[in-house]
Structure 1
Amino acid sequence: MASLTIRNLRKSFGVVEVLKGVDLEANTGEFIALVGPSGCGKSTLLAMIAGLETVTSGEIYIGDRLVNSVQPKDRDIAMVFQSYALYPTMSVKENMAFGMESRGVPKAEQEKTIARVAALLQIEPFLKRKPGQLSGGQRQRVAMGRALVRDPALFLFDEPLSNLDAKLRVDMRTEIKKLHQRIGKTTIYVTHDQVEAMTLASRIAVMHQGEVQQFADPDTVYNRPANTFVAGFMGSPSMNFIDAEITSTGGGAPAVNFPLSGGGVASLPLHNGVADRAQSKKVILGIRPEHLSRQSASNSGKQGFATMSALVEVVEPTGAETMAVLKFGDREVVGRFSPDEAPKTGENMPLAVDMTRACLFDPATTRLI
């Protein structure tokens, strides 16, 4: 196993700068997810780690070795692609053995390695089949098996589940997590799916326009996002944003205010000294959908909870939970409610807002206050 260190990495295609000084470090055995929208540079970064793209400037270290000029075959990596990249005329066993054949691994060792990896991935019944005779999930297991037989220092995954249907993606996500727990190899995993990133990674690098916006553990990225881009990208539904203003209440305690659609102003108390860090009275209030709930005896008057009401415009039941679009001033926000407190369309719903979980952002910089 090996660590991965990336220092001030830049990549340009002509005059277009795709990566703008990326710094990342993956400890030995860590699972790092690179996540972001299409075109953010995450797949380009993975290709540079693999040696499939040249470095414009900066450094890539695998372990203690600078690999900027090292050929892909000599980097001690294994890559699993979105498209599986299996040889259609070869059997599963032949696909898995191909790399070992090329490196001159003895037949007896090949057989032993394939048997071990096939058992690990539960693909022993498919070893004689061709890729065309397998389902998408089975093909992806074979692609992972071909990478595993190499026993590399570093695993690279390039959106490996994006071609699968929703249920199979969940199943394969679990399999990848189990696999990492068993083998403990350093893994870099590219995805545009923030749920995959949250469930799989020990740390997440959120990318946007060629830059890393935040690099932290999933809990920090979700609950203390570095800026409004991270806050809006991570989470489904995403965080609600409301233009607001910090004021002091009658007792001198700070509160955040914004106008309501029916007239009047909502005044929600602030906690944790966040108002003291604000450079301006104008702020962006960020509230996750699950931090809105119906007022009840259990949350009414509870420390850190504020109360208000909002008009329910749309209700979207999903079974385990109910989403609702609510009118906050001139903005629509989304709330996530349990079925037993589900709102009704047209209702003026009494809400409890968990202000201990609210975030404030600077409107000028969009960064977390």
Structure 2
Amino acid sequence: MSSLTIRNLRKNFGAVEVLKGINIEAKAGEFIALVGPSGCGKSTLLAMIAGLETVSSGEIRIGERLVNSVAPKDRDIAMVFQSYALYPTMTVRENITFGMESRGVPKPQRDEAVKRVAALLQIEPLLNRKPGQLSGGQRQRVAMGRALVRDPKLFLFDEPLSNLDAKLRVDMRTEIKKLHHRVGKTTIYVTHDQVEAMTLASRIAVMHQGQVQQFDEPQAVYDRPANMFVAGFMGSPAMNFIPAEITTDADGRPAVAFRAAGGGTATLALQEGVAGRIAGRNVILGVRPEHIFRYSPELKSSKPSVAKVDAPVEMVEPTGAETIGFMRFGELEVVGRFDPDEAPRMGETIPLGIDMSHACLFDPATKTLI
């Protein structure tokens, strides 16, 4: 196994700078997800790691080896593409062994490698079929088998599940996670799907406009996003952002005040010590939908951090396991998650509980976490 180190990496296409000083370090055996919207630079970064794009400046090291000018075939990496890239006229066995045959690997070694990988991916019955006879998930397994058979230092995945339907994506996500636990290879995984990133990765690099906005463990990225972009991108439905002001409540405790429905002001108490240094400042209050729910006195007694505010319900979306509610806060619409048994009805005004222990405060000017 090898580590991957990226230092101050930049990429220009003419006058356009698409990567702006990327710094990422993957420990040996780690699973790193590069996540972000289309056009953020994540696939370009992966192509540079693979050697398919040149480096404008900065360093890429696989282990201790600087690979900036090393040809792709000599980097000892394996890449799984979005499109599978299988040869349609070859059988599964031939697709898996083609690269080994090209490198002059003896047939007994090829056969042993195919046997090992086919058992690992549970594709033994498919070895004599051609890609046109396989489902999308089976083709993806074959593409992974072709990568695994090389026993590389580094695995690169470029949005490998984006062509699959929703159920198959979940199944293959589980397969990839199991596979990583079995082989333990350093893996860099590009996706625009934040659920994939959260469930698969040991650490996530959230990218936007050619820069890494935050690089941390999945739960840390979700709970303490570095800025409003990360907070809004990670999570579905997205975090609610409410313009507010740091103030005090009726008991003199630090609180945030914002415009409530009907033109009044709602004041929600913050955790002690949170707002002392920013008293009187305007802020953006960030609250995730799962921390907005129907309020009850019993809930307040068990969770002192829960604050109450009344809000009219504009729309509800039942999803089976939960109900998504859209409520009115002043001129804003906020989203909450509700247990189906306590789901609100359209048009009613309900008491909402907001768990302020999980609230985030952002600077309105810099958009960064305070």
Q: Same fold (TM over 0.5)?
A: yes
CA distance in 2, matches of 1:293, 1:18: 41
**Residues 226-258 of structure 1, C-alpha deviation per residue, up to 9 Å, x if partnerless?**
000000000000100000001123433110000
**Residues 31-76 of structure 1, C-alpha deviation per residue, up to 9 Å, x if partnerless?**
0000000000000000000000000000000000000000000001
- TM-aligned CA distance change 1:214 to 1:2, over 3 Å: same
CA distance in 2, matches of 1:251, 1:311: 27
Find the residue that maps to 1:114 and give its secondary structure: helix
Shift of 1:92: 0.3
Task: Give the structure 2 partner of residue 355 of structure 1.
Answer: 356
CA distance in 1, matches of 2:251, 2:269: 11
Find the residue that maps to 1:44 and give its secondary structure: helix
Find the residue that maps to 1:298 and give its secondary structure: helix
Task: Give the structure 1 partner of residue 269 of structure 2.
Answer: 269
The 10-residue stretch of structure 1 (255-264 or 211-220) with the greater mean CA deviation from structure 2: 255-264
Task: Give the structure 2 partner of residue 328 of structure 1.
Answer: 329
2:81 touches 2:159 (CA, 8 Å); kept in 1?
Answer: yes
Task: Give the structure 1 partner of residue 288 of structure 2.
Answer: 288
Q: How many aligned positions are there?
A: 369
* Matching residue's letter, 1:59: E
CA distance in 2, matches of 1:367, 1:136: 41
2:253 touches 2:272 (CA, 8 Å); kept in 1?
Answer: no
* Matching residue's letter, 2:337: R
* Matching residue's letter, 2:97: A
CA distance in 2, matches of 1:245, 1:223: 22
2:323 touches 2:343 (CA, 8 Å); kept in 1?
Answer: yes
Q: Does 1:231 align with 2:223?
A: no
- TM-aligned CA distance change 1:279 to 1:163, over 3 Å: farther
Task: Give the structure 1 partner of residue 222 of structure 2.
Answer: 222
Task: Give the structure 2 partner of residue 319 of structure 1.
Answer: 320
Structure 1 segment 22-101 matched on structure 2, within 5 A = 22-101=22-101
CA distance in 2, matches of 1:272, 1:116: 57
**Residues 119-166 of structure 1, C-alpha deviation per residue, up to 9 Å, x if partnerless?**
100111110011111010000000000000000000000000000000
CA distance in 1, matches of 2:263, 2:158: 50
Find the residue that maps to 2:337 and give its secondary structure: strand
Shift of 1:297: 3.9
Shift of 1:272: 5.0
CA distance in 1, matches of 2:155, 2:325: 41
* Matching residue's letter, 1:236: S
Task: Give the structure 1 partner of residue 170 of structure 2.
Answer: 170
Task: Give the structure 2 partner of residue 299 of structure 1.
Answer: 299
Name structure 2 gaps, 5 residues minimum: none
CA distance in 1, matches of 2:344, 2:155: 46
Find the residue that maps to 1:225 and give its secondary structure: coil
CA distance in 2, matches of 1:222, 1:108: 48
Name structure 1 gaps, 5 residues minimum: none
The 10-residue stretch of structure 1 (300-309 or 3-12) with the greater mean CA deviation from structure 2: 300-309
The 10-residue stretch of structure 1 (249-258 or 6-15) with the greater mean CA deviation from structure 2: 249-258
CA distance in 1, matches of 2:254, 2:272: 11
Task: Give the structure 2 partner of residue 344 of structure 1.
Answer: 345
Find the residue that maps to 1:238 and give its secondary structure: coil
Structure 1 segment 172-191 matched on structure 2, within 5 A = 172-191=172-191
**Residues 65-100 of structure 1, C-alpha deviation per residue, up to 9 Å, x if partnerless?**
000000000001000000000111110000000111
- TM-aligned CA distance change 1:117 to 1:268, over 3 Å: same
- TM-aligned CA distance change 1:100 to 1:168, over 3 Å: same
Question: What's the TM-score, normalizing by structure 1?
Answer: 0.98
1:79 touches 1:157 (CA, 8 Å); kept in 2?
Answer: yes
Task: Give the structure 2 partner of residue 115 of structure 1.
Answer: 115
1:272 touches 1:356 (CA, 8 Å); kept in 2?
Answer: no
Identity of aligned residues (%): 75
* Matching residue's letter, 1:134: L
Task: Give the structure 1 partner of residue 16 of structure 2.
Answer: 16
CA distance in 2, matches of 1:277, 1:49: 43
- TM-aligned CA distance change 1:212 to 1:277, over 3 Å: farther
CA distance in 1, matches of 2:354, 2:84: 46
* Matching residue's letter, 1:125: P
The 10-residue stretch of structure 1 (214-223 or 267-276) with the greater mean CA deviation from structure 2: 267-276
Q: Which runs of 4+ in 1 moved over 6 A?
A: none
* Matching residue's letter, 1:104: G
2:246 touches 2:279 (CA, 8 Å); kept in 1?
Answer: no
* Matching residue's letter, 2:170: V
Question: What's the TM-score, normalizing by structure 2?
Answer: 0.98
* Matching residue's letter, 1:154: L
* Matching residue's letter, 2:187: T
CA distance in 2, matches of 1:280, 1:55: 47
